[in-house]
């Protein structure tokens, strides 16, 4: 199984992610976690601050936008797309909105099996890392479960993809606006006996085979 779960963007082990995707690998960038942001603002951010598709392309990968809204109620079409893809990369944003997109498109029913079979690698940062765990309980202290965008179902999905055996708490004890909320989420999970892993910005959880390992970020 191939996993790359980062706290902030691609973390400090990007070379490992590029190796995981393979030479010329096809990378589907899933940015549905920010669908609540107006398109003009998203485009401005992409041009001026960070463009994950361009980042992957700069390292020789065939990256493209994989908008799960295109596949709402069309799981057969999504399966065909995933079978042509080497790595899916889910960006940060609102974890609950991303999880809704994964449910409504059928990604949550299709992708885990492909990942477990070694036919697809899964990666993501912040929200994209959070949904890889078994539950989003406690993460409502960081993200608002009620955040919606057009076409999204109102009910939140609390179950994660179950690709790892513990919840992921990003931005923990980091220089990040959500660091205080991350601390509260980790405390709540500990009090409620929810297995979890805390990640500082720069940290990455990497699995390329049998073992999930923490690659600590640069100090």
Give residues with Cβ within 8 angstroms of 162, minimum separation 6: 112, 133, 134
The pLDDT score that the predictor gives to residue 72 is: 98
Look at residue 102 and tell me whether its pLDDT is greater than 90: yes
Which tens digit of pLDDT belongs to each residue from 120-163?
Answer: 999 999 999 999 999 999 999 999 999 999 999 999 999 999 99
Tokens 């006996």 appear where?
Answer: 193
Which tens digit of pLDDT belongs to each residue from 15-45?
Answer: 999 999 999 999 999 999 999 999 999 999 9
- Banded pLDDT at 51 (limits 50, 70, 90): very high
Q: Are strands 2-6 and 196-198 parallel, antiparallel or unpaired?
A: unpaired
- Banded pLDDT at 219 (limits 50, 70, 90): confident
205 three-state secondary structure? strand
Q: Round to whole Å and give the CA distance between 215 and 219.
A: 12
Q: Are strands 121-125 and 87-90 parallel, antiparallel or unpaired?
A: parallel
Give residues with Cβ within 8 angstroms of 13, minimum separation 6: 4, 6, 204, 206, 215
Give φ, ψ of 217 to 5 degrees: -75, 165
Which tens digit of pLDDT belongs to each residue from 67-90?
Answer: 999 999 999 999 999 999 999 999
The pLDDT score that the predictor gives to residue 95 is: 98
The pLDDT score that the predictor gives to residue 58 is: 96
Which tens digit of pLDDT belongs to each residue from 56-68?
Answer: 999 999 999 999 9
Q: Give the E-state strand segments of the chain in sequence order.
A: 2-6, 26-30, 62-65, 87-90, 121-125, 167-169, 196-198, 204-208, 212-215
Give residues with Cβ within 8 angstroms of 179, minimum separation 6: 171, 172, 173
> Which CA distances in Å does 186 have to 39, 42, 140, 154?
32, 29, 11, 26
Query: What percent of the chain has a predicted confidence (pLDDT) above 70?
Result: 100
- Cβ atoms within 10 A of the Cβ of 50, count? 13
Which tens digit of pLDDT belongs to each residue from 3-14?
Answer: 999 999 999 999
| DSSP secondary structure of 58-113 | TTT-EEEE--GGGGTT-HHHHHHHHTT-SEEEE-SS-HHHHHHHHHHHTHHHHHHH
2-215 is classed in which CATH architecture?
Answer: 3-Layer(aba) Sandwich (3.40)
Query: What percent of the chain has a predicted confidence (pLDDT) above 90?
Result: 98
Q: Are strands 2-6 and 62-65 parallel, antiparallel or unpaired?
A: unpaired
Q: pTM value? A: 0.97
């Amino acid at each position: 199984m191939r996993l790359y779960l980062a706290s902030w963007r691609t973390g400090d082990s990007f070379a490992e992610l590029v190796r995981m995707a393979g030479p010329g690998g096809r990378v589907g960038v899933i940015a549905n976690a920010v669908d609540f942001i107006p398109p003009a603002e998203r485009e401005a951010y992409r041009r001026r601050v960070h463009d994950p598709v361009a980042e992957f392309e700069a390292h020789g990968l065939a990256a493209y936008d994989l908008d799960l809204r295109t596949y709402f109620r069309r799981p057969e079409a999504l399966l065909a797309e995933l079978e042509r893809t080497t790595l899916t990369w889910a960006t940060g944003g609102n974890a609950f909105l991303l999880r809704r997109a994964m449910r409504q498109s059928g990604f949550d029913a299709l992708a885990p099996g492909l990942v477990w079979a070694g036919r697809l690698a899964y990666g993501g940062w912040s929200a994209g890392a959070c949904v890889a765990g078994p539950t989003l309980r406690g993460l409502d202290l960081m993200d608002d479960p009620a955040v919606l965008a057009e076409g999204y179902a109102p009910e939140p999905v609390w179950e994660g993809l179950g690709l790892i055996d513990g919840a992921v708490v990003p931005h923990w004890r980091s220089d990040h606006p959500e660091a205080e909320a991350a601390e509260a989420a980790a405390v709540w999970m500990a009090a409620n006996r929810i297995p979890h892993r805390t990640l500082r910005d720069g940290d990455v959880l990497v699995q390329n085979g049998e073992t999930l390992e923490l690659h600590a970020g640069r100090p």
